[in-house]
């Protein structure tokens, strides 16, 4: 197992990325709804129950976006209860590992508060929306708050942040690629790719 704390690495990288370079997003008439299409297609073919749980969580995330609910761990935990069909989804209580142990996400007394602080930045109007959505996706991935389902939580968070400003991507499947905590270019590219998907109409 790696000794490096990849969460600390991500928090450093997060400060280094020039988020202002992210593209502006356009509100367009809703056509293909990427998240729902992904659930009804690729996810349902693999696991119908998983698809239904994701769709239920997505409905909650959209409702929370419509009412402009503050984004924090408690909000994500509500969605995650739907994703995992669980009665409780607490913040993890130990270090977490991913990528076959190549990344370790440390835990200290400030970790949950730091996570909520990062999520609050999704409301910062001085940061381009594509950057806020990409950064929130990566925050969930690298804080790794749950014992299971963090990739699904990250995607729901991205979709929620965009939905608050009435942006719906026509595709989300291409976003499902491996991301690394020590990759500032990859973080910036995620924000740019959200812009590419925003311009893609189907």
Contact 160, 64 (CB under 8 A): yes
Q: Which residues of 171-192 are buried (b: 16+ CB within 10 A; e: fewer)?
A: bbeebeeebbbebeebbbebbe
Structure confidence at residue 116 (pLDDT)? 98
**Full set of structural domains in the chain with CATH:** 6-16+31-199 (1.10.3290.10)
Structure confidence at residue 193 (pLDDT)? 97
Instruction: Dihedral sign for Cα 173, 186, 128, 155, please.
Output: positive
Structure confidence at residue 19 (pLDDT)? 98
Instruction: Dihedral sign for Cα 7, 12, 15, 19, please.
Output: negative
Residue 150 C-alpha from the chain's centroid: 8
What is the DSSP code string of 91-121? Answer: PPSS-EEETTTTEEE---TTHHHHHHHHHHG
- Dig out the tokens for 168 from the structure: 């719906």
- Dig out the tokens for 173 from the structure: 């499947």
The per-residue pLDDT string of the chain (202 residues; one tens digit each, 9 = 90 and over) reads 567 999 999 999 999 999 999 999 998 776 789 999 999 999 999 999 999 999 999 999 999 999 999 999 999 999 999 999 999 999 999 999 999 889 999 999 999 999 999 999 999 999 999 999 999 999 999 999 999 999 999 999 999 999 999 999 999 999 989 999 999 999 999 999 999 999 986 5
Contact 156, 163 (CB under 8 A): no
Structure confidence at residue 30 (pLDDT)? 62
Q: Rounded CA gap, 179 and 176, in Å?
A: 9
Structure confidence at residue 58 (pLDDT)? 98
């Amino acid at each position: 197992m790696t000794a490096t704390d990849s969460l600390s690495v991500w928090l450093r990288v997060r400060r280094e990325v020039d988020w202002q370079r992210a593209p502006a997003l356009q509100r367009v008439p809703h056509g293909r709804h990427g998240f729902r299409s992904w659930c009804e297609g690729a996810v349902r073919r693999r696991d119908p129950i998983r698809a239904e749980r994701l769709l239920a969580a997505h409905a909650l995330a959209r409702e929370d976006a419509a009412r402009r609910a503050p984004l924090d761990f408690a909000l994500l935990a509500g969605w995650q209860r739907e994703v995992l069909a669980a009665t409780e989804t607490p913040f993890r209580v130990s270090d977490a590992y991913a990528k076959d142990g190549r990344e370790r996400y440390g835990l200290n007394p400030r970790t949950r508060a730091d996570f909520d602080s990062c999520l609050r930045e999704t409301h910062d109007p001085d940061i381009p929306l594509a950057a806020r959505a990409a950064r929130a996706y990566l925050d969930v991935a690298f804080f790794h708050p749950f014992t299971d389902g963090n990739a699904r939580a990250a995607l729901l968070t991205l979709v929620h942040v965009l939905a608050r400003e009435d942006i719906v991507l026509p595709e989300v499947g291409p976003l499902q690629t491996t991301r690394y905590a020590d990759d500032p270019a990859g973080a910036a590219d995620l924000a740019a790719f959200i812009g590419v998907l925003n311009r893609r109409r189907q």
